[in-house]
């Protein structure tokens, strides 16, 4: 009905000009020209509708009808010719052999007639096949022609019926008038979206080959509002609010490390020699998220499946962070001035087998993180309002995640090394599923 109201609004605008009796618009995304005249009772009389798809369909239908007539006539002529040849062959076979000089004998005449019979039969078969194809195509075109003619007849009737269409739709006409003037309402969509996939947490320390990384999950859920700049524009502004959780897991089987140039409580210099083994860390960060993105791909276009792309920024506010660490280490002090190594003195921090992490430790993270986000996929409509969106989404933190800095990119027991220092970034990649309602 929107198409009809749009045409009516265009006719109202056109009628405001003197002697205006023609209006152009679109119908099913194709140009249409309506010629009319206004009657004394303020109703319209449609004098002509010029619609290119219908005109082309009518032209094709007439061409097929003409070809159908030609083939039918040629086929009947060939059938008649075959009957004559068949009768001639039968008659020649029943006649006595001819031996008259200078004339063809019966056998030669039968062979000649049979050859003609076969040629005409082959032409008849070819024409019959072409005739069947033309009839099938003509039937299809006729069906399309009749359907479109009914639609145009209905359009003509509705456009001409001022009382039933215009009088009851003043608000709709006013809105469509604004649309024609460039100030009409635009399309919008409200959607619920979920993304599940993997997340990767890396910094200068955990990028080293020493560290192994297990699969870490990420999940994002949000409610989004998409505002199209115009009903026909492929561009839209998309904003939302939601929740995101990102995890990271890292491990080290075992390694040695030396921290030189330390000073103990007595002012004596020493080198701390560490041995770490079975180190495992797991981090989980949760955020309240506000994405602001540009949406490319008009979900209001008629038809089937459409592609879409989202790209923009995401504001993330940390709401919780958890950390689990396990592993062991030993430490001994080497005093180069004495050439002595001291072990198993807990008061000085020299231990043989100690836990690498405390159970009550929480990582220090930034309260705000800015993400870059891009997503792409397809839009599958279900009726006029509902649609399913399927695709993939990836994101990358543009600002630091952690607050404290790593010490020379060195592993430090007791702290979260997965998120440590300004070099710590999160990358996430996952599958996207959304359900939208267009209005």
What confidence tens digit (pLDDT) does each residue in 58-97 have?
888 888 888 888 888 888 888 888 888 888 888 877 776 6
Range list of β-strands (E), 349-418: 354-355, 368-382, 386-397
* 223 in the same domain as 141: no
- 236: domain CATH number? 2.40.160
pLDDT (tens digit, 9 = 90+) per residue, 238-250? Answer: 999 999 999 999 9
Nearest to 356 by CA among 326, 386, 316: 326
Q: What average pLDDT does the segment 209-226 reach?
A: 92
Same domain, 268 and 408: yes
DSSP string computed for 249-316: EEEEEEEEEEEEEEE-TTS-EEEEEEEEEEEEEEEEEEEEEEEEEEEES-TTSSSS-EEEEEEEEEEE
Q: Enter the tokens of residue 271.
A: 């080198």
Instruction: Please indicate, yes or no, whether residues 92 and 196 belong to a single structural domain of this protein.
Output: no
**Candidate from 145-159, 186-200, 344-358 with smallest mean pLDDT:** 145-159
Phi, psi of 53 (to 5 degrees): -60, -40
Q: Domain boundary at 146, 180, 214, which?
A: 180
Query: pLDDT tens digits, residue range 369-378?
Result: 999 999 999 9
Pair (297, 420) in one structural domain: yes
376 and 308 in a common domain: yes
Are residue 229 and residue 329 in the same domain, yes or no?
Answer: yes
| Domain extent at residue 423 | 188-438
> Is the domain of 237 the same as that of 97?
no
Provide the CATH number for the domain around residue 120.
Answer: 1.10.287.370
- Does 161 share its domain with 219? no
Number of CB atoms found within 10 A of residue 23's CB: 20
User: Rounded to an integer, what distance in angstroms lies between the CA atom of residue 358 and that of residue 347?
Assistant: 18
Residue 321, CA atoms < 13 Å, CB-side half-sphere: 19
| pTM for the predicted model, two decimal places | 0.57
| Domain closes at, from 180, 211, 237 | 180
Q: Enumerate residues 6+ apart whose C-beta is below 8 A from 214.
A: 249, 250, 251
Tokens in use for 287? 């955020």
Q: What is the pLDDT of residue 105?
A: 66
Q: 319 — alpha (psi -120 to 50), left (phi > 0) or beta?
A: alpha
Radius of gyration of the chain (CA): 42
Helix (H, G, I), strand (E, B) or coil at 111: helix
396-437 per-position pLDDT tens digit: 999 989 876 556 678 888 888 888 878 889 999 999 999 988
The answer on 341 and 263 residing in a single domain is: yes
User: 390 with 376: CB under 8 angstroms?
Assistant: no
Tokens 């049979």, located at residue: 114
In what helix (H) or strand (E) does residue 179 lie, and over which residues does it extend? Answer: helix 170-180
> Do 194 and 169 fall within a single domain?
no
Per-residue confidence band for 3, with pLDDT thresholds at 50, 70 and 90:
low
Q: Are residues 208 and 305 in the same domain?
A: yes
Tell me how many domains the chain contains: 2
Last residue of a domain, one of 125, 157, 180: 180
CA distances from 251 to 15, 212, 255, 343, 411 (A): 78, 5, 11, 26, 12
Cβ-Cβ contacts under 8 Å for 6 (sequence gap 6 or more): 25, 26, 176, 179, 180
Q: Which residues pair with 388 in a beta bridge?
A: 380, 435
Do 282 and 168 fall into the same domain? no
CA terminus-to-terminus distance, the chain: 15
Backbone phi, psi, residue 40, to 5°: -60, -30
Q: What is the pLDDT of residues 284-324, one digit of tens each?
A: 999 999 999 999 986 655 557 888 999 999 999 999 998 99
Residue 215 pLDDT greater than 80, yes or no: yes
Average confidence (pLDDT) over 358-380: 89
């Amino acid at each position: 009905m929107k198409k009809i109201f749009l045409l009516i609004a265009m006719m109202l605008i056109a009628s405001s000009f003197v002697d205006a009796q023609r209006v152009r618009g679109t119908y099913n995304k194709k140009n249409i020209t309506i010629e009319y005249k206004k009657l004394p009772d303020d109703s319209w009389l449609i004098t002509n509708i010029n619609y290119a798809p219908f005109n082309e369909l009518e032209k094709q239908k007439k061409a097929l009808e003409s070809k159908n007539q030609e083939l039918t006539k040629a086929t009947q002529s060939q059938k008649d010719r075959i009957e004559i040849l068949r009768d001639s062959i039968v008659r020649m076979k029943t006649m006595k052999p001819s031996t008259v000089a200078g004339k063809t004998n019966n056998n030669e005449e039968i062979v000649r007639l049979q050859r003609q019979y076969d040629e005409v039969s082959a032409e008849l078969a070819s024409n019959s096949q072409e005739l069947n194809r033309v009839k099938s195509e003509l039937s299809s075109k006729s069906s399309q022609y009749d359907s479109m003619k009914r639609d145009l007849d209905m359009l003509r009737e509705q456009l001409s019926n001022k009382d039933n269409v215009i009088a009851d739709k003043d608000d709709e006409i006013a809105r469509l008038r604004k649309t024609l003037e460039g100030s009409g309402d635009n399309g919008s969509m409200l959607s619920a979206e979920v993304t599940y996939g993997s997340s990767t947490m890396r910094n200068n320390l955990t990028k080293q080959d020493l560290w192994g990384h297990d699969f870490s999950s990420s999940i994002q859920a949000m409610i989004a509002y998409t505002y199209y700049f115009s009903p026909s524009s492929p561009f839209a502004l998309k904003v939302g609010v939601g929740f995101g959780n990102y995890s990271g897991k890292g491990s080290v089987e075992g390694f040695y490390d030396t921290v030189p140039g330390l000073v103990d409580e007595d002012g004596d210099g020493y080198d701390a020699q560490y041995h770490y083994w079975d180190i495992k860390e797991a981090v989980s960060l949760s955020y309240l998220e506000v994405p602001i993105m540009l949406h490319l791909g008009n979900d209001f276009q008629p038809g089937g499946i459409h592609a879409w792309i989202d790209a923009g920024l995401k504001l993330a506010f940390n709401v919780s962070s958890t950390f689990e660490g396990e592993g062991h280490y030993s430490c001994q002090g080497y005093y180069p001035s004495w050439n002595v190594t001291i072990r198993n003195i807990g008061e000085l921090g020299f231990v043989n087998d100690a836990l690498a992490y405390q159970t009550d430790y929480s990582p220090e993270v930034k309260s705000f993180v800015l993400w870059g986000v891009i997503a792409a996929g397809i839009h599958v409509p279900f009726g006029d309002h509902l649609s399913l969106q399927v695709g993939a989404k990836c994101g990358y933190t543009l600002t630091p995640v952690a607050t404290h800095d790593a010490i020379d990119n060195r592993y430090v027991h007791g702290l979260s090394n997965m998120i440590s220092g300004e070099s710590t970034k999160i990358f996430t990649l996952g599958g996207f599923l959304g359900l939208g309602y267009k209005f």
